[in-house]
Each structure stands twice: as structure tokens, then as C-alpha cells.
Amino acid sequence: MKYQQLAKDIIQHVGGKENVNSVVHCITRLRFKLKDESKANTEALNNMDDVVTVRKSGGQYQVVIGNHVADVYKAVAAEGGFEAKGEVDPDEEKGNLLNRFIDMISGIFTPILSVLVASGVLKGFNALFVALGLLEETDGTYQILNAIGDGLFYFLPIILGYSAMKKFGGTPFLGMVIAMALVYPDLEGIPASGDPLYTLFAGTMFESPVYIEFLGIPVILMTYSMSVIPIIVATFFAAKIETAFAKIVPNVLKMFLVPLLTMIIIIPLTFIIIGPIATWASQLLGSASVGIYELSPIIAGIFIGGFWLVFVMFGLHWGLVPVALNNFATLGQDPILVLIFAHSFALAGALTAVIIKTKNQKTKALTPPAIVSAIFGVTEPGMYGVALPLKWPFIFTVISSAVGGAILGAFGTLGYEMAGLGVFQMPSFIHPEEGLNLSFFASIIAMIVAGVLAFVLTYFFGGISKAEAATATSEGSTKQEPQSNKEIEVKSEILTSPLTGKIKKLEDIEDTAFASGALGKGIAIEPTEGKLVSPVSGTVSALFPTKHAIGITSDNGAEILIHVGLDTVQLDGKYFETSLQQGDRVEKGQELLTFEIDNIEKAGFKITTPVVVTNHDQYQLKVIDHSNVTPESKVLELTTK
């Protein structure tokens, strides 16, 4: 299997399969629910060639892979045996309310995201064919294409019944049966077949005619096809009921009695109470989102359009997905997700400027596929791989996205289908009756303005200097290693200690990447003073933007990596100070950086510092025994082979 070794390495570095409660994937990420995130080796994952970066958000441990994530997921699932796992995460109730909500929504919608987007794209293009006069709505071709695209949305509660019930720890097919009852055609058709028996809540916003009763209890019939919230709420309670019955029903009767009792309780309860209340809540949610939009479409466009990539970084974008789906179901249109349309093209514009300005060949190779991905709506490769590490391209993308969102808001562009992102989102802007109207063409204007603005800002003010370009790729993937200087003849070398402290065997430290020797051979030091000095004379070949690690190539060709603390990359430079830059000349004993030991340890990080020679294969390496060392102490003797 192509990704078998990658899958093994990922599983190992997330703490082993026994540390994984569940794993799913979205467009670019593996989304793990781990029992103990502290067991995951984030730095080792970040140093893997096929991993873009690692994010922790919404209670999930997210390993960003890129466009081929589906293939990697299959390998991970097969290697870890995760495909058979359907139990609920025992830690699901932990974490703050926002994290739990995001985790719930992503867990329900992630499994169906690809077919949801595909169906929306097909519906959008079908509308485009009609608008261009290529098809008529009476044509058989149109009707069949519409059935293919609209089928999922009409029966969306059934699909959600499966994924939501699975997420809540119940039997997925039981969730589907609940949804099937809600969209049962004979029940949906009753209101059109005669007069109501009576009316409930007359004269209020909840006024509802009653056509049937269940055991003498009035049933308010709602239209549940295309709905979102009612089935999610129903399956939540269904999972609780099923679990309760599973504990008390004898084993010999569980197979049929548990689902029977669950259905006979939850389905009538949903028709009588849960469904109407959830439907009213859905209508209020739709009205509220539109109301906020109508207060100022331009400000809404600036905020949602500008901060969408930030939402994606922290997983907060999942909170808007059910809102949009609910708007389509209750209002037939959505003004919210439209406002993010320009962000893909803003990123593509910024990346295009990076290609022109950078002199680094790795960046030039990485960026073109990221541009293509961005145009088609997948922004993670370009965002994490190039724009974020270079900082200003990301900032200019955000600004340009905000401008694009403001244009979309000003022209009142709306979405009429749940479509994809990037160019695939455009057909969803076609008005069902007016076709290609002004608001549709406003989306093209927003797309062009955002892309051109991001390009111009990045090109002229992006700071893509030679030094930045040289580290763009390594910073983007967080795989920053000392760069080899092939022109230097490798000679024997003696390294002095870069720290004052106590020597520790490298294999004994709590970091498998360093302890295994995968990143180089050497020693570890427990520092007692927060000052790091150079162990050799040479050149700074790599300096992490978080300042916690530095690479030096000595005058004799030794490539040395010093990593202050374990997992301290997560501090994002806090408690570290240096005035050095990559390419600077340093002398043995010269101060490289300072760090605050007490504050780093109070933040929960170990200060153990690996000192390794990354090109150790060119040397016979001998550790000079010490217990305590100072910057004058000789610690490593390198003899050329």
C-alpha cells in the first residue's frame, strides 16, 4: 500500500492506536479524537515530509495532509483498525461548550461533506445550464440531473440520521429509520388532503393546524425533508434512550427489543414535541442570521469574508455549516456562506505574487499546486504551506477577502444551493427565476478584485526577501532543519557545551523523534541557566521563527541542531529572545539566544534540550562523559570517517 509506512508513522506519533478514540478526515486533514493529547508527538509529526502541519482545535488533534488525505486516511484506518470503531468517545463530554459544539458538528457533517458538496455543485451547474439556455426545466436531462443533485438534500435527514446517531454513540441505522419516518410521504401529504381538526396556538407566531392525533395527543405536522436540526436533536435523545434500554433488556431479547422500544418512544416524541420545537428553532435561527446580515451586509461581508481563513485555522467554520444548511431548508437561500467566496481567489492571488518574488526553488515547486487547490476551494496547502509562514501574504489574503466579502454584501449576492467552494461555488449564485442577474456578476467582480488586490499587496509589500524565500517552504511545513553546506569540506570537530547544566543521554529523553536518533546523534542537557551559546564557530543555517531551536553549520562542516525544550514550538516564541538571523556568522561561545526557564516550565513544558549532529553519518561520534557542564566543557568529539 502506497501510504502504509506513512500511516504507521502517524499512528505511532499520535500515541499509538490505543490512544485513538476515533479518526475521520475532511478535505485536507486527518481529525483524531485522542484519549490523551500529551502522548502525541506533535514535533515529530511536523517533521514528517508528508505532513503539512498539526493543529489542535475543537477538541480534535488535526494532522493536515493535503489533497491526498482520503488515501492516507484509508491507510491509517486499515493500519489501526479504526474503520470498525463506532463507539462514542468517552472524553466527549470534556472541554468547553464551544469545543464540544464544534466537535459535534464536525463529527456529524465531515463524513458526508464530499457528497454534500458534489450534490450542490451538480445542482448549481444544472441551474447554470438553464440560465444559459442549454436546458429547459421540462427536459428529461434536466430532471434526471436535478434528481441526482437534489436527492441528497431532500432526504438529508436520513443521511444525518446515520452520521448523527453514530456520533452520539447509538446505532446508525436506527437514526436512519427515525429520519425515514419524519419524511414518510403519506404523513407529509396529510395537510394537503383536508381541513385541520383544530388549531393550536392561534394568534401567535407558533399558530399550527392539527390534522392528526397520536393516542389523543395533537400532532403538529411539519415538513422535515431537507431539514437539519430536528433529526440531530431526535438522534441525540434516541442514543440516550437506546443506551438506557441496552442496560436493562435481557441479552436474549436485545437484538429486536432495544430498537423497537427506542423507536416506539422517540419517533412519536419527535412528531409531538421535538420536531415542532426544533423546526421553530430552525426558523428563528434562519431569521436571526438573515437579520444580522440585513443590519449591514457590507460589515457582515468584511467580517465573515475576512476572517474565514482564521475560522478554518481554529475549526470554527463548522459552526456556520449547519446555519447555511438550515437557511437553505427554511428560507430557500443563504446569505452567509456567499460572503466567503472571495477568499479562495485572494489566496491564489497572493500565492501568484509569491511565485514571482521568491528565489527559492522549493517554494516555487510547492506554490503552483497550492494555487490550483485554492481556485477549487481547498486553501489549507497554500495557507499552511506558504502564506502563513511568510506572514504578510496571509495578512493580505485576509484583507483582500474582506474587501471581496464587502462587495458581495453590497450587491446582495445570495446562494441558492449548498455548493462547493472556489469556482464550484459560483453556479449556486444563479437566481432561480432571474438567472444571471447583477448579484451573480457581483461575485465575478468580488473574485477579480480580491485576487488582484492580494496579488498587488503581496507583490509590492509582502516582504518576500531572499532570506524569507529561502525559508518559506521549511517554515510552512514546520520542518526546519539545518541546511547542508555541500561546499564545506567535512573535518574533525570538538563541540563545547552550549549550556550550563546537567548532561542526559539522548535516548532517555521524552521525545521519540530525538531519542530514536531520527533527527541526529548527540546528547541532551538539562539547563540550569537560560542562556544558549554557540558550541562551534560557523554560520546560522536555520533559525525557527518561534526562536526555540537553531541550526548551525560549523566551519568544519558539522551540522548541529539545538532544540531548547520539548514541544516548546507551541509557545510560539514566548519566553525566547534572540537578535540573530539566518545566515549570521557566529563564534564559539557567542550568545545565541536567551530563554526563561521558570516560565517555560510553568507553562507545562520540559526544558530538556537536545543537542544533535544531523550529518552524523559523516563522523565517528564520541560523547565526552560529564555530569555537569558549562560552555567551556567539551561534550562531543567528531572524527571524520
Indicate the Cα dihedral angle 426, 428, 429, 432, nearest 10°: 140
CB 366 within 8 A of CB 383: no
Residue 205, classified by CB atoms within 10 Å of its CB into exposed (0-12), middle (13-18) or buried (19+), is exposed
CA separation for the pair 499, 632 (Å, rounded): 9
Phi first, then psi, for residue 203 (nearest 5°) are: 85, 5
User: Which 3-state string (H, E, C) describes 30-60?
Assistant: EEEEECCHHHCCHHHHHCCCCCCEEEEECCE
* Catalytic residue (choose from 6, 20, 26, 324): 26
List the beta bridge partners of residue 29.
64
Under the phi-then-psi rule, with left for phi > 0, alpha for psi from -120 to 50, and beta for the rest, what region is 535?
alpha
CB 226 within 8 A of CB 156: yes
CA separation for the pair 259, 238 (Å, rounded): 10
CA separation for the pair 46, 36 (Å, rounded): 18
Cell of 46: 511536523
CB 179 within 8 A of CB 161: yes
Residue 251's H or E segment, with its range, is none
List the beta bridge partners of residue 209.
199
Cell of 117: 458538496
Sign of CA dihedral 7, 8, 12, 16: positive
CB 128 within 8 A of CB 430: yes
CA separation for the pair 58, 543 (Å, rounded): 30
Q: At what angle do helices 140-154 and 156-167 cross, to 10 degrees?
A: 30
Residue tagged 446505532 (cell numbers): 171
For 165-182, b/e burial (b = at least 16 CB within 10 A) is bbbbbbbbebbbbbbebb
405 catalytic per annotation: no
CA separation for the pair 166, 169 (Å, rounded): 5
DSSP assignment of 392-415 equals: HHHHHHHHHHHHHHHHHHHTT--B
Cell of 372: 490550483
The single-letter code of the amino acid at 114 is: S
DSSP assignment of 543-592 equals: E-TTSSEEEEEETTS-EEEEE-SSSGGGGTTTTEE----TT-EE-TT-EE
CA separation for the pair 524, 507 (Å, rounded): 9
The catalytic residues are 26
